[in-house]
Structure 1
Amino acid sequence: MNILIITVGTQGDVQPYVALGKGLKAAGHSVTVCTCAYFESFVTAHGLDYAFMNDDLIKFMHSDDGKIAMENTGNLWEAIRTAIKIIPTVGPMQRRQIDDSWQATQAVQPDLILYHPKALCAPDFAERLGVLSIIGFYLPLFAVTGDFPAMGLPQWKLGRWYNRLTHGLINKATWWGMRKHISAWRKENDLPRKQGIDFLNQSDGQPAPALYAFSESVIPRPTDWPENARVSGYWFLDQIDDWKPPAELQEFLSNGEPPIYFGFGSIFGQDPLRLTKIIVEAVKATGVRAILARGWGGLDLDQIELPETIFKLDFAPHDWLFPQVAAVVHHGGCGTTAAGLRAGRPSILCPFFGDQPFWGSIIENLGVGPTPLPQKKLTVEKLSAAIRQVTTDTAMIEKADQIGQRIRSEDGVANAVKFIDQWLARDSELSLVDRKSDGLQ
C-alpha cells in the first residue's frame, strides 16, 4: 500500500514517525513522510521518500518571540492565553502548512494517511480522497478516559467524571485552535462542516483507528478506551549502521565511572548559558563525571570553560550512549524520556514547556527519578541534590533497570505495523463490499 505520514514540529515530532515509516517499508509498503524541509535529509537517510512542508513553525519556535511564547505555556491556561496572543503570527503559518501538506497528499495519492495531531486537516484530506486515516501520537490524549485526568489540567482526584471532563476540555481546546483553518479548507473542498474534533471517529460515525506510541509499562492503557485505540509501545529509531562514535568519546567513557548525561533537545529558553553554568557547578559540587550534549542550542558550551570531568558532545545516538551512563538529565521530551527508560537509567527531568512537565510527573510516579526541576526555577543546590539521589538511591536504580528490561522486550513498531495492516485489510474489504453493492464488481 501507498502510505503518507504527515507530521510537523521538532526532532521529537519527526523521529518516531520515521521509525514507524521504516517498519512499514520493511513490511512492503511504500512510505512518504511529509514534514518540515529541515528534516528532508534525515527522512531520506533512513530510506523513506520525502514530501515538502515549509519550515515556518521551526523558525518561529527558535525566534525570540517563539521562545517567549513557549516559556509562557507552563499549564493549559497559560497556553491558551499565549495562543490568543500569537494567533496573528501562527495563523498564516497554519494555513501554509495545510496548503503544503495537501499538495503533497495530492502528489502521493495515498491509500492511508497516518498523522500527528498537529498536522492540520490530515484526516480531512483522507476524507476528501476517500481513504483511511490513522492518528499516531505519543501522549494519552484525544481518546476520552475516566482513568486519569488529561495532561495539562489539574490532577485532582475527583473521580471518573472529572477525569472524563478534562479530556473533553482538551478536545474542545484543540478544536478551538484548529477550527478556523479546517473549516475553511473543508468549505473550499466541498466537505460538510465539522462541529468539533474527534480523532477516533470518522465523519460518518464509524470508528477511526488511533495508535498510541508509548509503553504500557509507563502508562497503562486506559480500561475504558475503545478497541480502535491501540497502545503499541514506543517507536524507537536506532542508530544508522554506519555511525561510529568519536574516539575521544569512547576514551572518556572508558576512563572512569559512568558519567551523567545532560541534554536539552531542540526547544530551549532564552538563556542557555545560565542553564549550562548551573550544570557545570552542580557537576563540580557532586564530584561526578558528565557528558554535556550541545543539541540544537539548549546548552551553551562555547562561552564557559569545562573541567576535564566534563565531555562536550555534539551528537551520539541515545540507544548507543544511554546504556553507558549512570543517569540522564534532560528537558523531558517524549523521545529522550523514552530512551532513558529503555536504557534502564534513572532520569532527572528539567521541564521547560508543553508535555515536558507531564513526563516529569510520570518519571517521578514510576519511582525512576526525583521530583521534576523546572528550568525556570533550577538552582545548583536543587540539581546537586537530584544528582546525588539518582546516583545513590538503590531502589530507584533497580526500578529503572526493571522498567528498562520490560521496554526492551517490546517491539512498538512491529505492533503498530500489525495494527495498521489489520485496518488496511478491513478498509479494503469494506471498499469491496461497497463496490459490489454499487454493481461495480
Structure 2
Amino acid sequence: MLLKKLTYLFISIFLLSICLNHDGFAQQKKKSRKQLESEKRRNLEKIAETKRALENTQEKKEVTVGKIKAIKEQISSQEEQIGLMEQDMELIDMEMQDIVYAKMNLEQKLDTLQKEYAAMLYTASKTSGKINKLSFLFSASSFNDLIMRYKYLQQYTDNRKSQVAQMTKVVALLRERQGNLEGKKSDKKRIISAKLTEAQNLELLKSRQTEMVGELSKKEKDLRKEIEATKKSVNRLETLIANVVAREIARKNKERELKQDQEAKLAKNKSKKPSTKVKNQELDDKETALGKSFGASKARLPWPVQRGFISDRFGIKEHPVLNGVLINNNGIDIQTPRNATVRSVYEGIVKDVTEIPGLGNVVLIQHGEYYTVYANLQQIFPVVGQKIGAKETIGTAGESGGATEINFQIWHNSEHLNPEGWLIPR
C-alpha cells in the first residue's frame, strides 16, 4: 500500500515538474520573442522614416546625395529586417522543438497513468468479486484493524479519483500543446511568405540605387567640388569648437588660480573666519556635476529631432557615389521631415551661435566637460550665454544635399565622440 502511495506521489510530482519546466522554457522564449518583436518594430519604423524621406524629395526630379543616402539607409534597414525574420524562424523552430518534446513527455505520462488506472480497476474488480466493502470492514479482528481498513478503502477511492483527474489534466495539456504547435507552423508559413516579399522589395531598392548612383556619378566634377567645400566647412567648425574648448579650459584654470590665491590670503589672516566657498568655485562645482551627469547619460539622450533616421554615420567611410573617395563625419547626419524643430539633448549653456557656409547655422552648447553641436540649422533661437533645458527647441532643420538634414556632434573637451552610442536606440 505504501509503495502505491509513493508511486502516485512520484507521478504527480513528475507531472508537475514537466509543466513547470515547460513554463520555464516558455518564459525564456517569451523574453527572446519580446526582444525580437521589439527590434522588428523599431526597424519597421526606421523603414517607414526612410520611405517618407524619399517621398518628400520626389518633388525634385534630379538625383541628389541626400536621396542616395536615404535609399542606402532603407536598403540597410530592409536587409536587417530580413535578418530579423530569419532569426524569427529559428526561434519558431526552437519553440516547436520544445513543444514537441513536452508533447512526447505528456503522451508518455498519459500512457503510464492509463496503465496504472487499468491496474487499479482490475484489482478492484477482483476484490469485489470475492468480498464486498462491508464484509471487508466487519471481518476486522479488532477496532483498530477496522479503522485501518476503512482508511485503506478511503485512500483507494481517493487515489482512483486523483488518477482520473491527472489523466484529464494531461489530456487538456496535450490538446493545448497541439494547438500551440499548429499555431507556430502557421506563423512560420506567414514569415516565409513575408520574407519573400521583403527580398523582392530589397532587389527593387538595390536596382533603383544603382540607377541613381549611375546618374549622379555623371556630375563627378560638381561632387568633388562639393566635397572640398564641405571639408573646408568642417575644418572651420573644428577650429571654432577647439577655440571654445580652449577658452573654457583657460577660464577654469584662471578661476582655479584665483581660488588658490584667495585661500592663501585667508590662511595668512587667521583672525578672519574662513570662507566656506568662493563664488567661482561654486560655479566650477556645478559645471563638474553637469559634466558627470552628462557622461552618465550614454545611450539615454533624446534625439535632437523627434522624427528622423541616421543618413550618414560617424567616422571615415567611402563616398556614397564616388569610388575611391573617402569622407569623414565628426558626428552623424540625421534626415528629418521638412521644417522639423531641433532641440537640445541635455541641459547646458549656449557657448556659440554662428553661421558657417556649407553647414548653415550652428549652435554649440556646453554641458560641463562635454559639448553638443547642432549644424545645418535653418533658424536659430538661443543666444550666447543662454541657459538651455533638455529637449528645449533651439532651431529648425535646414536643407543639405537635397534633403532636410542636420549634423549632430558630441565632444568631450577636444575629443569628438560617436553620437550614435549616446542617443536612445531607435
Instruction: Normalising by structure 2, report the TM-score.
Output: 0.21
Task: Tell me which of the two structures has the higher relative contact order, counting C-alpha pairs closer than 8 angstroms and 6 or more residues apart.
Answer: 2
Instruction: Normalising by structure 1, report the TM-score.
Output: 0.20
The structure where strand makes up a greater share of residues is 2
Please say which structure displays the higher CA radius of gyration: 2
